[in-house]
Structure 1
Amino acid sequence: MKQPSSNLFTVGIVASWYSSNIGVLLLNKYLLSNYGFKYPIFLTMCHMTACSLLSYVAIAWLKLVPMQTIRSRVQFFKISALSLIFCVSVVLGNVSLRFLPVSFNQAIGATTPFFTAVFAYLMTFKREAWLTYLTLLPVVTGVVIASGGEPSFHLFGFIMCIAATAARALKSVVQSILLSSEGEKLNSMNLLLYMAPIAVVFLLPATLIMERNVVGITLALARDDFRIIWYLLFNSALAYFVNLTNFLVTKHTSALTLQVLGNAKGAVAVVVSILIFRNPVSVTGMLGYTLTVIGVILYSEAKKRAKAV
């Protein structure tokens, strides 16, 4: 794939990344909470099915990136383990959106660096500089403050969101351990190509057991309001687009730019969600979230400086 150097192209990719990330988050919230489609596992399975099909189209047909093959049974089992953790994180995140506003969901999600540092230490005994750990204090403190000042606080939703955030962090740590050798490294597009179908295999029995007759219920809903089908199709396609644009942003910008954009994305999502859903927010909650974002920025800066030494 050619690498256009135009600034306009880069701006377009970043705008697409923001739009798809925030769009899928808001649409998930709308479907699971406002619309009343209370089937987060089935919704996640729709996402993974779309990612399976569109990943194959993008790599095998459009050749956006060269196809990488799975080289061994061991590598396949490693990818399967990653896929299971990924499934758990997405399902728990979708469950939390049934009970929590997007703004609070994003505040909790910003604590990912804290869990990443914890899992990295527990699993690899990798220690960061003391200053890096110090920057995690405002990250956690901010969420504690935001929780205390959140008008729509829901304990079960909070636990699900914390668990989803921890699972996301665990996936990134496990991925760096399992696929660290040169022969096993896969770019994110190829990793999704293999992870998504495995995720569908995990999610199908979970959907059949825990969300019985969801297909029949969805079809019955569609007879009354056909828009539900379009919502699900668009939402699923958008879930793949999140991964595609994330890959393109990573490819066409620096790691530092990606960190800065990622930190800002959460804040943008909070503002947009409050404007759309008009969920009540408190000054205490916003101060807590702001403190968390500042902590994440300081953490990124501390890690960058530690690497430079």
Structure 2
Amino acid sequence: MAQIALTASPTLVSFKGGSKQGATLFSDSLRVSSGAAANLALSPSRGFGFVASDRIRRGNEGVAKVSGGLSYTWPDTNKPSDRDPPPGMKGSSRFFTIGLVASWYSSNIGVLLLNKYLLSNYGFKYPIFLTMCHMTACSLLSYVAIAWMKVVPMQTIRSRVQFFKISALSLVFCVSVVFGNVSLRFLPVSFNQAIGATTPFFTAVFAYLMTLKREAWLTYVTLIPVVTGVIIASGGEPSFHLFGFIMCIAATAARALKSVLQGILLSSEGEKLNSMNLLLYMAPIAVVFLLPATLIMEENVVGITLALARDDVKIIWYLLFNSSLAYFVNLTNFLVTKHTSALTLQVLGNAKGAVAVVVSILIFRNPVSVTGMLGYSLTVLGVILYSEAKKRSK
């Protein structure tokens, strides 16, 4: 039977493995007696090494064997760990995330610019009908993505109360989209984005009024440049339109109200829905709300659209493409959040507003004053400071 004894004397341990040879001095050694003497010592770089009076062999699998029958296996550091992702996969994941962000930017800015083109430049003056087209596309494409393509698992509505809560959210959502589209008829995209950047201000106000939730004082201080920037931008906007301004403020407030209501109404674990499933149920309810509003407020819009299509068939393709983009805004928003984080999405959103302003000015050539750009820059700075203050207060 083998006897194992520790010796405290320094021992020179030799090892041989692959193309490398070496010797290391250790303060302790392990002596094994089983007909053949062997010293075992820990090596900082290679695991264990063996010295014996008989032959020692190290195989490709990192196994050292002594002729007396003793063997020890240690990890081969020349081999990559099974837990390490392959280098190619890391690169693919990085490119996938960049592609998602680019798709999110393209769909967001694209639907905004196309809305502006249709409602203002092209002369299609039916924002409620346009919103209904968006919601119809979201209903159909959401079902395809969830039920057929399995982008996310389908979640079901569990009670009548939950259904009424989703309906309330859908109504507020409709108001925000319709008012936003109405404002685009009268305001340039650059000014529209400047007003839209005040969403954190309205979110903080509604959160306090409805939940009595107070933020840190520094968070409220950061909202001062947000509001001040919009005031400055309004005073320096050459294309300022009062009704469009009111509609845009109402759309921004409704968007903030929807986010606060969502946190209140769907707060219990049994009622929470991810954004894709929430859109699946909200979109068809929105169509039900928008249909009578379209028929009453935009009389004979279907007939007018068909008449326009007879003169210029491109209007049909514009509406189809625009409605599909409206869905992909929500899809890419969800995927970017899933593959990055909500904070990253917030930072990217701030930058997206600036990109949208630049692109819209280049395309529509709307006049911009230095005062207006200064006000918008101040608003964006305030939003960035607000995001940082919220992050630190958590």
| TM-score clears 0.5 | yes
Q: Distance in 1 between matches of 2:133 and 2:327?
A: 11
Q: 1:191-240 deviations in whole A, cap 9, x for unaligned?
A: 00000000000000000000000000000000000000000000000000
Q: CA deviation at 1:245?
A: 0.2
Aligned CA RMSD, in angstroms, stands at 0.5
Q: Distance in 2 between matches of 1:172 and 1:88?
A: 13
Q: Distance in 1 between matches of 2:368 and 2:383?
A: 21
Q: 1:47-93 deviations in whole A, cap 9, x for unaligned?
A: 00000000000000001000000000000000000000000000000
For residue 70 of structure 1, give the secondary structure of its aligned residue in structure 2: coil
- 1:266 aligned to 341, 348, 353, which one? 353
User: What residue number does 2:207 align with?
Assistant: 120
Q: Distance in 2 between matches of 1:61 and 1:253?
A: 25
Q: CA deviation at 1:15?
A: 0.2
The within-5 A match list for 1:204-219 is: 204-219=291-306
What TM-score results when the alignment is normalised by the length of structure 2? 0.77
Q: 1:268-287 deviations in whole A, cap 9, x for unaligned?
A: 00000000000000000000
Structure with the largest fraction of helix: 1
How many pairs does the alignment contain? 303
Runs of 5+ consecutive residues of structure 2 not aligned to the other structure: 1-91
Runs of 5+ consecutive residues of structure 1 not aligned to the other structure: none
For residue 185 of structure 2, give the secondary structure of its aligned residue in structure 1: helix
Q: Distance in 1 between matches of 2:254 and 2:329?
A: 18
- Please identify the structure whose Cα radius of gyration is greater: 2
Q: Distance in 2 between matches of 1:30 and 1:255?
A: 31
Q: Distance in 2 between matches of 1:255 and 1:79?
A: 22
Q: 1:4-60 deviations in whole A, cap 9, x for unaligned?
A: x71000000000000000000000000000000000000000000000000000000
Q: CA deviation at 1:259?
A: 1.3
Q: 1:117-150 deviations in whole A, cap 9, x for unaligned?
A: 0000000000000000000000000000000000
Q: Distance in 1 between matches of 2:118 and 2:213?
A: 40
Q: Distance in 2 between matches of 1:22 and 1:88?
A: 21
Q: Distance in 2 between matches of 1:25 and 1:258?
A: 18
Q: Distance in 1 between matches of 2:285 and 2:336?
A: 26
For residue 45 of structure 1, give the secondary structure of its aligned residue in structure 2: helix
Q: CA deviation at 1:188?
A: 0.3
Q: CA deviation at 1:255?
A: 2.1
Structure with the largest fraction of strand: 2
User: What residue number does 1:94 align with?
Assistant: 181
Larger relative contact order (CA 8 Å, sep ≥ 6) = 1
Q: Distance in 1 between matches of 2:334 and 2:284?
A: 19
Q: Distance in 2 between matches of 1:7 and 1:124?
A: 40
Q: Distance in 2 between matches of 1:224 and 1:184?
A: 49
Q: Distance in 2 between matches of 1:43 and 1:224?
A: 19
Q: 1:226-262 deviations in whole A, cap 9, x for unaligned?
A: 0000000000000000000000000000222111101
Q: CA deviation at 1:179?
A: 0.5
For residue 135 of structure 1, give the secondary structure of its aligned residue in structure 2: helix
User: What residue number does 2:376 align with?
Assistant: 289
The farther-off stretch of 25-34 and 249-258 is: 249-258
Q: Distance in 1 between matches of 2:318 and 2:135?
A: 15
Identity %: 93
The within-5 A match list for 1:6-17 is: 6-17=93-104
Q: Distance in 2 between matches of 1:216 and 1:18?
A: 34
